[in-house]
Structure 1
Amino acid sequence: MTARRQLALIALVEVLAMATWFSASAVVPALRADWGVGDAGAAALTVAVQLGFVAGALGSAALNLADRVPAHLLVAGSAALAAGSTAVIALAVESLGPAVALRAVTGVALAGVYPPGLKLMASWFDRGRGAALGVLVAALTLGSAAPQLLNAVAVLPWRGVLLVASSLAALAAVVAWAGVRPGPLARPAPPLAPRVVVSLLRQRGPRLATLGYLGHMWELYAVWTWLPAYLTASLLDRGLDATRTTVGLVSFAAIGVAGVAGCVVGGLAGDRLGRARVAGWAMRASAACCVLAAAVHGAHPALVAAVLAVWGFAVIADSGLFSTVLTEVVDPRYTGTALTTQTALGFLLTVVTINAVPVVVSATSWPVATLLLAAGPVVGAVAMARLDRSTRLAGSGPTARLTAAGDAPPRPGTPA
């Protein structure tokens, strides 16, 4: 059993399981026709997953589940639950209300897939951890974008798209159970320590890393959720047809293909040049893309697609770097709890922007909405600049630098 093999297996699990995340959102055009779903209903299908994820993550963090339950078994069981809740929508649901409730269940389940997956990856890698976690986030990105591709190229009805996503998540559960194992850096199950969640934000390093992550999440899921709608509106304003295939393929290219490239490049660059520094660069680029997206709305489709591709690259390039920094400055026994807490806070914030975008668009326009998204990466870039300045003041290596800045990781035996 090698680290590279586990890297491939864990990434595969994330790709397969995360296909359920945006599966319902990808088929909203069909649901508008079948169920009469409006903008509020479309947002609810995504927000329900976000809120479910937050509830699941907070519960997991309070109980230290990601550190006290074997992570590969937690991932397997959670992926199976996500598969089941998605399949029920496809096979038995005929209206929006039950679908929203089941989407919340999917969110709870995915809280047991993504943060424990980060912990599993960290347990296999010390050197090159930024690149490894970048690969994992790339897998999440590709899995989240997969429904857009299915919706664009498949001749399946919307229920078929959901069944495919459900089947992929079921396969993820099997792979996690049969092939994924914790690595040599994994620690024995620690005692229950709910106060770990609160104590994380008392240290400057984790606090700045989390603030940067919040700025990143302010923008990320709003972009992923509403990019197809933005593209559709831009094409219509140009007097062009916004076909299902065109919107699906361009969205998949921006979110999936460009996003995967951003994750991998960001992770590799962070390992070589400094994680906080590279994260700050990515956030500056992403903020600039918010402005560019406002400027090119309704422009030639090739120009719009190019801006969306750059945006898809930049908006996710920093994601794995926040997780990497956090794993290096907390008590290693509670790495899973720390990662779960960080993601819970981030996904809670996404609820605000996912709901705000259609409201702002209805009241003003798409350009105004994309400009407002720039606020998150601007704040995050400031936090990363401060973290980078602190880490460059002393020593080499991320942990040593944070320690010099007054953020000493807790001693063994002391919860972070």
Structure 2
Amino acid sequence: MRPPLARAIVAGVQILTLSVWFSVSAVVPSLRVEWEISAAAAVWLTGAVQLGFVVGAIGSTSLNLPDRYKPHRVLAASAALAAICTLCLALFAHSLAAALPLRFLTGMFLAGVYPVGIKLMASWSERRDRGRAMGMLLAALTLGSILPHLISGLGRLPWQAVLATAAAIGMVGALTSAIVIRPGPHLAATAPSRNARYALTMFTERGPRLANLGYFGHMWELYALWTWIPAFLLASPAAADLPASAEIVVFLTMGVAGALGCLLGGWGSDRYGRSPAAVVALAISGACCLLAPLAFDAGPAVLLAFCAVWGAAVIADSGVFSTSLSEAADPRYVGTALTAQTAIGFALTVVSIQIIPLVADTIGWRFAFLVLAPGPLLGAIAMRALGSRPRYRTKEHT
């Protein structure tokens, strides 16, 4: 299989399999009415997925699953199980208590989709093209994650239909992974020995440590923005004058603009270096955090443009962190390093997702996103210190 085709298939599979991630978030308004739950309780429909992802990533790291088994099979099995959990929620869940375990399991299985997809994409990418390849993968993640908003916004579908559609799309991705995808030639498919300790020992190495710190600052902002931007838009004075429903606006500004940002960020990291590309994206998204109170009161055209810039910037650097870590970490344990990175990053998202509505209840949605600004600021400092092209330095491992 030719590398460009293989990378395109990996990206396509990510779009399909990750459609279940925010599937419930897209129908939260309907669930709140039908299940009679508060906004604080509804937060856990997203928080449970993030916690499940953390648990799944830790388990995957402990067992070295991405390095010890064929990654395309790990991805296919994980995606199929996540789709089944989402379908079960659509068919059998009638309360928050029934939904939360299924959302937790969905997140746990998704830990075998996204990080493993990174490993597969890297395996089909030479070093000089890896930034663009990771940008393509992150564009796929963005579109897949925001896809349920498009499904929900295209018509007045029952929430069960939205979830069932996302589950069906995810199952198609799982079958495609099992049948079509294979690992490429640029990374070892399996680890020569089990070394779960590398999830911690990589923090003793300068390159992986700084790449991880940059990623953690990025994650503090990203998923809290994706989760709460619909509420921000609906609370704004311009809400009634938006040219489309909030779901469609979110898909266009966070999904489509975000995917373009990923591609631009990947190209920039190859052209100008990992660190400069990340610092620019972090600076723009951090500025958006600070400017959000002004955009909140702006007219619909300015608000849409602002959200599109923010949607592009907030995700543009994500592939840069994955690329930097895949280059700076021990090549034998790249899968373990990437999975550990995402586990810690997603643990942070649980905190930031919970904080935003608390701040909004206290001082209003106009100022709620200000608490996200420290993340991109600290991330920019770490990535500037990292340098433009980190490389793993061979040393003896015990």
Fold in common (TM above 0.5) = yes
1:277 Cα deviation from its structure 2 partner: 1.1
Distance 1:376 1:67 in 2: 30
Residue in 1 that maps onto 2:198: 196
> Is 2:233 aligned against 1:250?
no
Q: Which residue does the alignment assign to 1:223?
A: 225
Amino acid at match of 2:275: A
Question: 1:331 matched to which residue of 2?
Answer: 330
Unaligned regions of 5+ residues in structure 1, if any? 392-396, 400-407
In the other structure, the counterpart of 1:278 is 277
Aligned to 1:103: 103
Aligned residues with identical type, % of pairs: 49
Deviation at 1:299, TM superposition (A): 2.3
Normalised to the residue count of structure 1, the TM-score between the two structures is 0.93
Q: Does 1:414 align with 2:397?
A: yes
Tell me the amino acid that sits aligned with residue 260 of structure 1: A
Between the aligned partners of 1:83 and 1:409, the Cα distance in structure 2 is 40
| Maintained 8 Å contact 1:6/1:180 | yes
- 8 Å contact 1:80–1:173 — kept in the other structure? yes
2:94 aligned counterpart, secondary structure: coil
Q: TM-score, normalised by structure 2?
A: 0.97
Indicate the RMSD between aligned Cα atoms, in angstroms: 1.5
Residue 264 of structure 1 aligns to a residue whose secondary structure is helix
The one-character-per-residue Cα deviations of 1:82-137 (angstroms, maximum 9, x if unpaired) are 11000001111110111111000000010000001000111111220000011001
**What secondary structure, in the 3-state scheme, does the structure 1 residue paired with 2:315 have?**
coil
Deviation at 1:189, TM superposition (A): 2.2
**Secondary structure in structure 2 of the residue aligned to 1:23:** coil
For 1:206, the equivalent position in structure 2 comes to 208
Does structure 1 residue 260 correspond to structure 2 residue 262?
Answer: no
Is residue 293–residue 304 contact of structure 1 (8 Å, CA) maintained in 2? no
Matches within 5 A, 1:343-382: 343-382=342-381
Range 367-376 or range 347-356, more displaced: 367-376
Q: 1:207 to 1:156 in 2, by over 3 A?
A: same
Superposed, 1:12-411 pairs within 5 Å as 12-126=12-126, 127-190=128-191, 191-234=193-236, 237-238=237-238, 240=240, 246-388=245-387, 391=388, 398-399=390-391, 408-411=392-395
Displacement of 1:239: 7.4
Letter in 2 for 1:128: D
Describe the SS at the equivalent of 1:410. Answer: coil
Shift of 1:240: 2.7
In 2, distance between residues paired with 1:187 and 1:305? Answer: 44
Conserved 8 A contact 1:330-1:410:
no
Report the alpha carbon displacement of residue 238 of structure 1 after superposing the two structures with TM.
4.6
Does the 8 Å contact 1:15/1:143 carry over to 2? yes
The CA deviation string for residues 298-320 of structure 1, in whole angstroms up to 9 with x for no partner, is 32111111110000000000000
Q: Deviations over 1:165-224 (max 9, x none)?
A: 000110011000000000012315221112111111001111111000000000000000
- Contact 2:241/2:300 (<8 A) preserved: no
Deviation >2 Å, runs of 4+: 237-243, 408-411
Distance 1:13 1:338 in 2: 22
Distance 1:188 1:135 in 2: 21
Instruction: Answer whether contact 2:211 2:321 (CA < 8 A) is retained.
Output: yes
Distance 2:328 2:299 in 1: 47
CA deviation vs aligned residue, 1:223-279 (integer Å, no higher than 9, x gap): 000000100001xx3573789x51011111111110000000000011010111110
Between the aligned partners of 2:125 and 2:378, the Cα distance in structure 1 is 30
Q: Do 2:17 and 2:170's aligned partners in 1 also have CA atoms closer than 8 Å? A: yes
Report the Cα offset of residue 409 of structure 1. Answer: 2.6
Residues 337-372 of structure 1, C-alpha deviation per residue, up to 9 Å, x if partnerless?
A: 000011111000000100000000001122322111
Number of equivalent positions = 396
- Matched to 1:247, the amino acid is A
* Cα distance change of structure 1 residues 238 and 154 upon mapping to structure 2, 3 Å threshold: closer
- Secondary structure, in 3 states, of the residue corresponding to 1:185? coil
Distance in 1, matches of 2:37 and 2:24, equals 12
CA distance in 2, matches of 1:285, 1:344: 25
- Report the 3-state secondary structure (helix = DSSP H, G, I; strand = E; otherwise coil) of the residue aligned with 2:397: coil
- Answer with 292-301 or 257-266: which moved more: 292-301
SS of 2:157's equivalent in the other structure is coil
